[in-house]
């Protein structure tokens, strides 16, 4: 019985240590979530402005004429690329499994033939998943900062757009987890390339309604000069916004997962303490019984 009590006591101490770790990790994730939300709020206004301008151009069919003339080389391949944003670490609940599952469903719906698509992975979890299953992982970027900087994302955008211009793929979707609030996130797959009017029809996440947009433009010095400035900004803003959004959802998921782990540890500690008290009580009762029995034996 004494050994059993010691075992339970050891499990209580071990679980309390685990609770301390998960509670600390929850506090860290919550702090990171607060930091990145401040960046996200400020960035949303910029993104909405850039999207509005590009949507104007799309409705004016300037993007369609640009794609037909300048992207002929990229259209030869015909493959679709999926830029999948996951985390580089674990202990984020179902964050990674959800975005990978939803991405796989999206891929099956749009490109069921494995030879027709490639994977561009941002985050080691997604890269490892697809490489283990023999998928064509054409690009991998790991160790994105907890609060990503625009400079980081420019490297990703530059590589991806170069691959598109070189004809590695002809269509690109950005697949990531959209942060709704601290208890809810949703999957998104946004078409980034080619930048044409069709891309905006597929972008269900757009908050700007076509009815609010006036598509008439007076352009100076010319169309190509405007597009040369606006389109790179749009590509960068879309990818940066997606990764920033995904990182926000990641920190939220991590915070929730660590809170659940701490709550489970509390429940386990309560259960173990009850078992420990019962075991002690049983041991004390046994000892008292043995003492009383010994005294009665001495009387005879």
Q: Would you give per-residue pLDDT tens digits along the chain (300 residues)?
A: 455 788 888 888 988 998 999 899 889 888 888 888 887 777 777 777 777 777 766 666 565 555 554 454 445 567 899 999 999 888 888 889 999 999 999 999 988 888 889 999 999 999 999 999 888 999 999 988 888 888 888 888 888 888 888 889 988 999 999 888 887 888 999 888 887 656 555 554 445 444 444 555 566 666 666 666 677 777 778 888 888 888 988 888 888 889 888 889 999 999 888 888 888 887 788 777 777 777 766 666
Length of the chain counted residue by residue? 300
Q: Report d(CA 222, CA 214) in Å as an integer.
A: 19
**Residue appearing with tokens 């994977």:** 119
Phi, psi of 239 (to 5 degrees): -70, -45
Q: Which two tokens stand for residue 264?
A: 């489970």
- Answer yes or no: pTM beyond 0.85: no
Helix then strand then coil, in percent of the chain rounded to 5, is: 65, 15, 20
Distance CA 68, CA 139 (A): 26
Contact 39, 244 (CB under 8 A): yes
Residue 116 CA: distances (Å) to CA of 131, 139, 198, 260: 16, 16, 20, 41
């Amino acid at each position: 019985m004494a050994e059993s009590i010691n075992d339970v006591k050891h499990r209580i101490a071990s679980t309390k240590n685990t609770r301390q770790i998960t509670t600390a990790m929850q506090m860290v994730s919550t702090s990171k979530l607060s930091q990145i939300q401040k960046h996200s709020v400020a960035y949303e206004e910029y993104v909405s402005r850039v999207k509005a301008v590009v949507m104007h151009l799309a409705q004016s069919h300037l993007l369609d004429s640009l794609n037909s003339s300048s992207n002929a080389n990229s259209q030869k391949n015909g493959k679709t690329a999926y830029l999948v944003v996951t985390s580089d670490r674990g202990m984020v609940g179902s964050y990674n499994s959800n975005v990978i599952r939803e991405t796989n469903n999206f891929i099956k719906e749009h490109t069921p033939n494995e030879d027709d698509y490639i994977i561009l992975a941002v985050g080691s979890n997604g890269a490892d998943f697809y490489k283990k299953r023999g998928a064509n992982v054409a690009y991998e970027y790991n160790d994105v900062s907890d609060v990503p900087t625009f400079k980081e994302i420019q490297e990703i955008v530059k590589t991806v757009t170069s691959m598109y211009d070189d004809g590695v793929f002809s269509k690109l979707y950005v697949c990531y987890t959209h942060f709704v609030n601290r208890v809810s996130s949703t999957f998104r797959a946004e078409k980034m390339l080619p930048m044409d009017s069709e891309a905006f029809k597929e972008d269900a996440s757009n908050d700007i309604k076509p009815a609010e947009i006036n598509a008439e433009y007076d352009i100076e010095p010319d169309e190509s000069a405007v597009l040369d400035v606006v389109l790179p900004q749009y590509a960068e803003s879309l990818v940066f916004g997606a990764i920033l959004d995904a990182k926000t959802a990641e920190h939220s998921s991590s915070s929730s997962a660590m809170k659940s782990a701490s709550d489970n540890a509390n429940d386990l500690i309560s259960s173990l303490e009850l078992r420990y008290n019962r075991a002690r009580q049983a041991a004390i009762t046994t000892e008292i019984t043995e003492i009383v029995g010994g005294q009665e034996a001495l009387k005879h």
